[in-house]
Chains A and B, each alone.
Chain A
């Protein structure tokens, strides 16, 4: 029975009875003691590991809303506007023009052996290029023989080259809203919605959803997490079929797999009587690194995609209201079924109308089947009003806000989707704290990059990409609150706060190893905190340097 004592410059524990320490003793993958060297040595013989004496330890960071798809995307070419770190630690610089995107794709094409293999890019976001859109002819500069598809950051749009336009004979369907056309009525190669995804899947044989059954993608996901100091991450909508569960068990079961994975079962993938049965059968198959039991429901779409369900006065630019992903009445029945069976629900609501319907459904479900500690959680919930936070508090509902939106889309919300007034209230973490609502924060990777310290920076500063500051002072979290939220907050929202979230005796020995002390920095520098790597269950995982 070996004991290891990690010495650190400072340990931020998130345990209020011992907020700071310098040493942590680890035995059997769990925290044995936290304190001074003298205090933790009292447990007996131990190996003293001093590699972190210049680093700061925090509880392993928790990403409460991400998707394994992030891992599969890294098999392809990142062409996004912002810098993004690959699983190998290499930072791919953000691309600020269509020409730069073409150039990166040209390099990737040159490195491909098979001249017929399709080339896939991802993360593209033309919203930053003003009026300029990417055209099939741009991608033809990469190749007009090989099929090329470039996914937008949302994954709901796709740009293709002429090879795909011709293969699909898209000019014959150029009158559809899914097919963007130029002034001459010819398809530009930009496709929206299911049409784009269908052609990518069928013509290019590209399936971004295949991550689950593809071990390298699981590892890529875990490594991206590791680089961000994350030790527990969700896959917040999963079929959890037999094949997927087997893969997850096999990979997470390896000692060198650096992540705990919490998949949420997609609760509407089958009727709820069968769904409660399936997730029920999986709970007992959970391990230390694979936690099954939570259920995800999706009620509406996204604000930036104009598919969120908004209350009056609707979209600022007059776009019609968004979409229900499940009919409100069906949703109520589904919530009721999973609640009655005792499962914790994570409910995607973006618009305030969807949030209202979700709260109504939870209230009705709890009236017939009360659970004192249900911890149903609203995910994204970006437009919640003060009254809605009050209802959440009264109902015991938690919230996991998409704070990265403030930075990435805050300007677009201001100009286009919501207008000045409501944009100030997006992802209002301060209100959640004020009302005593359990709060977590997330990236929704791959929609934005995983990085809880960046997400915390967003919640602390509420600054958009162009430097506009959103919301009153009251909506900003303090650095201390934000750090609590990306550790304990995440753990509480996943009902894992007895196991993770703080560096505390008996909990799993999961640490984020930081090269800077986030409590000693200017809040505006929080996103620049360096991550050395992680410790998961006492195993040390140094991030690759690139």
Chain B
């Protein structure tokens, strides 16, 4: 018996008012049939279209567009377990961390349970408030822990802040977490594909730049394929040295001809068994990053297959 494919989990963190709810509302609205499990702090904050509700109880609402929304209600852990242990578990889970939570501690659950796979920690930072928050002795360590936890920092509210403010927050974040991946984007403009598993959200063979509506939120993507055996150790090394690389996923043939799934998120490489019965393209990698696409990234990745 093959173990079921782990459910990818994205964690959305950030202090109160940073735009988490806006982002979740958007995912809820845009979902088109994908079985998406959303865990939110409170139903009261999100816009659930009553006409779409197909089933509900106190802490869980199922929508006609495939979304299953859980409110943390009494207990976050029970909400998550209720979602994971459903007879029709979601294909993708997105967890909204509370405004004071350390998203890393929530992400730890996704890493500890082999039925789940941590796909990324996205931390929203309010560009108009962050400097004040990080100078507040009561809050400084809380917001700093959130920043430290992030795989990707998203500076929000840039539309109501000055360029100087955004630059100052960027500089502060760079000081707090040097080299951290960072974009400026409103929650409305953040590509939803970022929060989802790659397999069906990143067009295969695409190579170029994904642009949102805001001038700053620039992502680059790429993909390669090969018919050779992949050197996984080398792959890890190459991935780690690409500036701005956020995620990479693919199926590669390893030594001895065994095909494995590789997942790379902000420094962590997971190599797992291939689930049987799923159509897949063999020996291809897709990836996404922020900032300017590094010179030669495609070539370097191509070279790990020999």
A and B bound?
yes
Verify A328–B111 contact, CB threshold 8 A. Answer: no
Q: Which one of B58, B108, B114 contacts A241 once the chains associate, using CB atoms below 8 Å?
A: B58
Instruction: State which residues 85-123 of B face A: CB under 8 Å.
Output: 85, 99-100, 102, 105-106, 108-109, 111-114
Contacts of A241 in B (CB 8 A): 58, 74
Contacts of A521 in B (CB 8 A): none
Given contact pairs A193-B105, A321-B141, A176 touches B81 in the complex (Cβ within 8 A): no
Tell me how far the C-beta of A100 lies from the nearest C-beta in chain B, rounded to whole angstroms: 29
Whether a CB of chain A sits under 8 angstroms from the CB of B42 is yes
> Given the complex, which residues of B lie within 8 Å of A179, measured CB to CB?
112
Sort A-B residue pairs by CB-CB distance and give the 6 closest, nearest first.
Answer: A169-B114, A173-B111, A195-B112, A327-B100, A239-B74, A178-B108
Contacts of A177 in B (CB 8 A): 108
Closest to B44 in A: A271
Could you say which residues of chain A place their CB within 8 Å of the CB of B42?
270-271
A172, A173, A201, A207 — most chain B CB neighbours (10 Å)? A173
- Would you call B112 and A198 a contact (CB within 8 A)? yes
Per-residue CB contact flags for chain A residues 159-202 toward chain B (1 = under 8 Å, else 0) read: 00000000011101100111100000000000101110111011
**CB of A325 within 8 Å of the partner chain:** yes
CB proximity of A31 to chain B, nearest CB, Å = 39
Size of A's binding interface in residues, CB under 8 A: 39
Q: Residue-by-residue, is A255-275 near B (CB-CB < 8 Å gives 1, otherwise 0)?
A: 000000000001001110010
Q: Counting CB contacts under 8 A, is A209 at the interface?
A: yes
Contact, CB under 8 Å: B141 / A320: yes
Question: What is the bound-complex CA distance between A351 and B231, given in angstroms?
Answer: 52
Interface residues of A in 308-333 (CB under 8 A from B): 320-321, 323-330
* Cross-chain contact A194 with B105 (CB below 8 angstroms): yes
In the bound complex, residues from chain B placing their C-beta under 8 Å from that of A138 are none
Question: Is B291 located at the chain interface by the 8 A CB criterion?
Answer: no
| B138 engages A194 (CB within 8 Å) | no
> Which A residues touch B111, using CB under 8 A?
172-173, 176
* CB closest chain-B residue, reference A322: B141
Is A46 part of the contact surface with B, judged by Cβ < 8 Å?
no
Chain A residue numbers with a CB within 8 Å of B81 are: 198, 201-202
Chain B interface residues toward A at CB < 8 A: 15-16, 42, 44, 58, 73-78, 80-81, 84-85, 99-100, 102, 105-106, 108-109, 111-114, 138-139, 141-142, 270
A193 in contact with B108 given A198-B77, A202-B84 (CB within 8 Å): yes
Q: A194-B106, A269-B73, A326-B100 are in contact. Are A178 and B112 (CB under 8 A)?
A: yes
Query: In the complex, what residues of B have CB within 8 A of residue A271's CB?
Result: 42, 44
Q: Which residues of A contact B106 (CB under 8 A)?
A: 194
Residue contact A168 to B77, C-beta cutoff 8 Å: no
- Whether A202 contacts B85 in the complex (CB less than 8 A), given A193-B105, A195-B109, A328-B139, comes out as yes
Given contacts A271-B42, A328-B138, contact A173 B78 (CB under 8 A): no
CB distance from A348 to the nearest CB of B (A): 15
Does chain B have a CB within 8 A of A353? yes
Q: B76 — which chain A residues lie within 8 A by C-beta? A: 194
* Nearest chain B residue, comparing its CB with the CB of A193: B105
Query: A270 vs B73: C-alpha distance in the bound complex, in angstroms?
Result: 7
B residues less than 8 Å from A169 (CB atoms)? 114
Identify 6 new A-B residue pairs, CB closer than 8 A, beyond the known A169-B114, A193-B108. A168-B114, A170-B112, A194-B77, A198-B77, A201-B81, A323-B102
- In the bound complex, CA of A274 to CA of B85 (Å): 29
User: Which A residues lie within 8 Å of B112 (CB)?
Assistant: 168, 170, 173, 176, 178-179, 191, 195, 198-199
Contact bitstring A193-220, B, C-beta under 8 A = 1, else 0: 1110111011000010100000000000
Closest to A191 in B: B112
Which of B74, B77, B141 touches A269 (beta carbons < 8 Å)? B74
